[in-house]
Amino acid sequence: MRILLFTGKGGVGKTTTAAATAVRCADAGQRTIVLSTDPAHSLGDAFDLDLGDLTVEIADGLWGQQLDAQDRMEDAWDDIQDYLQAVFRWGGVDEIEAEELSVVPGLDEIFALTDIKRYAASGDWDTIVVDCAPTAETIRLLSLPGVLAWWMERLFPMGRRVNKVVSPLLGAVTDVPVPGDDVFGAIERFYERLDGVKELLTDRTVTTARLVVNPERVVVAEARRTFTYLSLFGYSVDAVIANRLLPEAVSDPWFEDWKQRHVEHLASIEEGFAPVPVLRAELAPHELVGIDRLREFGTALYGEDDPARHRADVSPMRMERTDAGDVLSVDLPFVAKDELVLGRREDELLVRVGPYRRSILLPDSLKRRQVVDAALQDGALAVTFAPTR
């Protein structure tokens, strides 16, 4: 089974590329479903179909769905939200503000990811194609499983035990709302839905991301940052798709400057993202809407090749034993030294790049060993741990 995540700056043709890839996968005989996690869904527009929150058969072997993350969040978060609202109201917050404060920003989006896990576990699909939100939202979305799991692993195991001891004491001295078993049961169900999502999406034998870019300076710059952040959180990128290149057939002198710029940007894309392959797609002479047009685009992009195959086996995190000690390497392409902050807390390595921070749980073999060196080397953070005595 394969899971393909498509992302890119808004307007680069991300949805079209995801839809065309799904069509080609289905044409190749793969049982394929294409999902949209973009809050501003346009997947249905690409197929010229009315797609909603239920799976719709688009063609033989191809199904589509625009996930309603808000609906899923309400189903899983209601009991927890009711308790939080009660606490806020007890503290004097009015009804509307309490309702707003009881929802964690971005929480709705994570439930779209739990649907991907459900489809993967069903065994009904050979290929799952995901039209993700534009890059900034995608990074937040993909980082949420790790962040929430970090908190849940620390707070939930002791929460119910502490509650059984503290609740009677609190009830005797105050009227503050105390969470009951229904709240902790809801938290447990939430955790179970979240459990395994990040492991699935960071398993590069199953899941890879594909970045869609246009040959424009601003777009390429954002794609480079996205590549860095995906690597930081352990997501493997197996292809970059350079979309809307001016065709050679365009010979009007007015376009000469644009064509030259496209050549320069394409060269920088291929050099900067190596060894990840760059696929090329020319600017289409018409709107890419409907199955037939998407099939044409997919054929031009992939040829007769399997669109779902792994195109690069790049592991964002690696371990290597050297004379100086064991070296943990995390790919951080395009990062400058002054953008990187590194810390250590017990059994965790804390890495921050720009606004994003990742907590890397160290394996047992490294937990008690001292960090003796850390450096950026060839686009990767290399952290050396003292050798065992």
Residue type, 143: S
Comparing 103-112, 265-274, 342-351, 370-379, the range with the smallest average pLDDT is: 103-112
CA–CA dist 283, 266 (Å, integer): 14
As a whole number, mean pLDDT of residues 76-81 equals 67
Phi, then psi, of 4 in degrees rounded to 5: -115, 120
Find out whether the peptide bond into 275 is cis, omega within 30 degrees of 0.
yes
- Identify how many contiguous H helices and E strands the chain contains and give both numbers: 12, 15
Strands 371-377 and 56-59: unpaired
CA–CA dist 37, 300 (Å, integer): 26
Could you write out the DSSP letters of every residue in 130-195?
A: EEPPPHHHHHHHHHHHHHHHHHHHHHHHHHHHHHHHHHHHHHHH-------HHHHHHHHHHHHHHT
CA–CA dist 238, 210 (Å, integer): 6
Location of each CATH 3.40.50.300 domain in the chain: 1-314
92 confidence band (pLDDT: 50, 70, 90)? confident
Tokens 């018409």 map to which residue?
A: 286
Tokens 């309603």 map to which residue?
A: 68
Sheet holding 325-331, edge to edge: 317-322, 325-331, 380-385, 371-377
Output the CATH code of domain 317-385: 2.60.40.790
**pLDDT of 178-205, one tens digit each?**
666 666 666 666 767 777 888 888 899 9
Location of each CATH 2.60.40.790 domain in the chain: 317-385
Closest to 129 in 3D by CA, of 48, 38, 215, 199: 38
Fold of 1-314: Rossmann fold (3.40.50)
Inform me whether the pLDDT recorded for 162 exceeds 50. no
Question: Could you tell me which residues are beta bridge partners of residue 56?
Answer: 64
- What's the pLDDT at 323? 84
Residues 6+ apart with CB under 8 A from 382: 327, 328, 329, 373, 374, 375, 376
Inform me whether the pLDDT recorded for 105 exceeds 80. no
**pLDDT of 307-366, one tens digit each?**
999 999 877 888 888 888 888 888 888 888 888 999 888 778 889 998 888 878 787 778
**pLDDT of 55-73, one tens digit each?**
999 999 999 999 876 666 6
Comparing 3-7, 184-188, 276-280, 378-382, the range with the smallest average pLDDT is: 184-188
Inform me whether the pLDDT recorded for 104 exceeds 90. no
Say how many residues make up the chain. Answer: 389
Inform me whether the pLDDT recorded for 115 exceeds 60. yes
Residue 231, CA distances (Å) to 195, 201, 226, 321 in order: 21, 12, 8, 21
Inform me whether the pLDDT recorded for 166 exceeds 50. no
CA–CA dist 260, 383 (Å, integer): 41
Residue 95, CA distances (Å) to 85, 90, 107 in order: 8, 11, 20
**Whole-number mean pLDDT of the chain?**
82
